């Protein structure tokens, strides 16, 4: 009953319960937004149900249908939140069974439907325990691999930290050596300049005699 009502309240374009449905001349109703989208895609104005041409762009809202849809959605939401159990989207019944062929929870009405004909079922609680055990078995090797990966990551991080500290120490040592070389070079330059100055001063103070002696010796 609920499923048939929901089908009757579904828009032919979005296949969901009507939202702001408009009333077309052919007596069909479509969501306002869906109708505009349908027209834009088709390139012509026609009914999505019967393809009858529509003479204008705007049509009145189907107030009765809109109110009915809002009431239906509200009641469906209240039924779903009434208990902790999830309801079947097709029959609004509690999901008490688990279909072993389709791997999905179903209600008792689904069990007798053609879709699940000749299928095997088990109680949801029992199926949940079986799935939990199966998942636990499958997760164990993954957890072991994750543990191994985390240990390897810690080792790599420690190795990277050690290399970083070693490079930092070597860089500091090279900087100190470079500073020592620069200071030694500066001292040598200063010493050379001082010696040169002394030589020039001695040469100037020696007078012409020494210079003539030097020239005569040559």
Q: What are the tens digits of pLDDT across the range 160-192?
A: 999 999 999 999 999 999 999 999 999 998 998
Q: Kindly report the backbone phi and psi dihedral angles of residue 112, in degrees, each rounded to the nearest multiple of 5, phi listed first.
A: -95, 0
Least confident of 69-73, 78-82, 134-138, 199-203: 78-82
Q: What is the pLDDT of residue 153?
A: 92
CA pair distance 36, 33, nearest whole angstrom? 5
DSSP 212: H
Q: How far is Cα of residue 88 from the mean position of the Cα atoms in its chain? A: 30
Instruction: Return the H-helix or E-strand segment holding 153.
Output: helix 124-205
DSSP 103: T
Residues in CB range of 29: below 8 A, 6 or more apart: 18, 21, 22, 23, 62, 65
Q: What is the pLDDT of residue 90?
A: 81
Number of neighbouring beta carbons within 10 Å of residue 28: 17
């Amino acid at each position: 009953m609920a499923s048939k009502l929901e089908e009757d309240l579904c828009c032919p374009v979005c296949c969901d319960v009507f939202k702001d449905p408009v009333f077309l001349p052919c007596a069909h109703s479509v969501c306002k937004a869906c109708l505009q989208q349908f027209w834009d895609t088709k390139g012509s104005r026609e009914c999505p149900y019967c393809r009858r041409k529509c003479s204008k762009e705007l049509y009145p809202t189907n107030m009765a249908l809109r109110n009915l849809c809002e009431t239906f959605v509200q009641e469906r939401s209240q039924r779903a939140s009434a208990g902790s159990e999830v309801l079947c989207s097709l029959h609004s019944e509690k999901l008490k069974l688990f279909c072993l062929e389709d791997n999905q929870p179903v209600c008792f009405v689904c069990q007798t439907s053609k879709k699940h004909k000749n299928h095997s079922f088990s109680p949801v609680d029992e199926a949940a325990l079986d799935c939990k055990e199966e998942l636990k078995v499958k997760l164990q090797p993954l957890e072991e691999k994750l543990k191994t990966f985390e240990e390897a990551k810690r080792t790599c991080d420690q190795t990277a930290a050690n290399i970083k500290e070693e490079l930092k120490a070597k860089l500091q040592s090279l900087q100190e050596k470079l500073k020592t070389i620069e200071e030694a070079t500066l001292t040598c330059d200063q010493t050379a300049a001082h010696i040169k100055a002394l030589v020039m001063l001695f040469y100037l103070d020696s007078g012409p005699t020494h210079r003539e002696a030097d020239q005569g010796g040559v």
